[in-house]
Amino acid sequence: MAPTDPISQFNIYTLFSFGTVGADENGANGFELVFTNSALFMVASVVLISSYLILSTRGRGLVPSRVQLVSEIMYEFIANMVRTSAGNEGMAFFPLVFSLFAFIFVANMLGMYPYFFAVTSQIIITAALALLVMGVVIFYGVWKHGFGFLKLFVPSGIPLPIMFIVVPIEVLSFLSRPLSLSLRLFGNILAGHIVLKVFAGFVVSLSALGALGMVGSVLPFVMAVALTGLKLLVSALQAYVFAILTSIYLNDAIHPGH
């Protein structure tokens, strides 16, 4: 019988180990490089995205086939998003935004498959992606504008006394960006999986109670089906939100003056 515990789906377990590096003579305190189920689904996402995009465009059809059209629509969707949010200069970051969108989208969708692992339900993954974005924003902003990047915190056309209030708020909002970016994705995927598992678990435990339980399990079953639809929407939407926020933050790095 399937487990009804909603937490075990996030467990990370080792598939095989590449050995430990940097361990002391006791074999402790080292970094053991392990290939986990989480890593497996990261690799699966990357393989899936890359092979689909490359194989679907192999024909380079002037009139696109259906599979090629999907790749082209995805390309144009992200390209338009980056262009409208960050301008033509922002197109330098198009591969980054596209990779983020594709990775999060495919990882979310893979996570929707029963018994598959949702990579984006790991806060370390979403935090890494969010910090990557903020790192690129800060690095590019400082490299391009130097101290001018600090204009980001100083909205133009505001009298000096109000500056003392506005600037700390701006700084705070900038600092909270990686936090909200990573927690939004993490929270949505995690909560969705837990709720789905709880309702699916009700179906299993109620069915075990006999005929009456089976009748009672119809309601959570309907809920589980409805939640699956909702979670598919959320999975796509969160990838979109992550990508468009990345574009907007990159726009700040390119044009720091408000």
**Positive or negative CA dihedral for 13, 228, 97, 48?**
positive
Among 50-58, 147-155, 166-174, 242-250, the segment contacting other proteins (CB under 8 A): 50-58
The yes or no reply on residue 238 touching other proteins (CB under 8 A) is no
Binding segment toward other proteins, per CB under 8 A, in 25-33, 82-90, 168-176, 229-237: 25-33
38 binds other proteins (CB under 8 A): yes
Measured distance CA(258)–CA(248) in Å, rounded: 12
Establish if 228 lies at the interface with other proteins (CB under 8 A): no
Residue 32: phi, psi to the nearest 5? -90, 115
By CB under 8 A, the residues from 64 to 103 that bind other proteins are 64, 68, 71-72, 75-76, 94-96, 98-99, 102-103
The radius of gyration of the chain from alpha carbons, rounded to an integer in Å, stands at 23
C-alpha 197/C-alpha 85 separation (Å) is 37
Please give the helix or strand (H or E) that residue 32 lies within, else none: strand 31-36
Q: Does 164 bind other proteins (CB under 8 A)?
A: no
- Could you tell me which residues come within 8 angstroms of residue 188 by beta carbon, excluding any fewer than 6 positions away? 234, 238
Binding mask 108-127 for other proteins (x = CB under 8 A): -------x-----xxxxx--
Place of tokens 């430990």: 20
Contact call for residue 61 and other proteins (CB under 8 A) = yes
* Shortest distance in whole angstroms from residue 160 CB to other proteins: 43
- Which position among 67, 87, 150, 186 is part of the footprint of other proteins (CB under 8 A)? 186
For residue 90, the 8-state DSSP code is: G
Please work out the total of residues on this chain that contact other proteins, with binding judged by CB under 8 A: 59
Tokens coding 127 = 């935090």
Q: Does 19 bind other proteins (CB under 8 A)?
A: no
Distance (Å, whole) CA 245 – CA 249: 6
219 touches other proteins (CB under 8 A): no
The partner residues of 36 in beta bridges, in order of sequence, read 14
- Report the alpha-carbon distance of residue 205 to residue 207 in Å, rounded: 5
How far is residue 28 CA from its own chain's centroid? 33
Specify the residue, 65 or 180, whose C-beta has the smaller distance to other proteins. 65
Q: Footprint of other proteins on this chain (CB under 8 A)?
A: 2-3, 5, 7-15, 26-28, 31-36, 38-39, 42-43, 45-46, 49-50, 53-54, 57, 60-62, 64, 68, 71-72, 75-76, 94-96, 98-99, 102-103, 115, 121-125, 128-129, 132, 186, 190
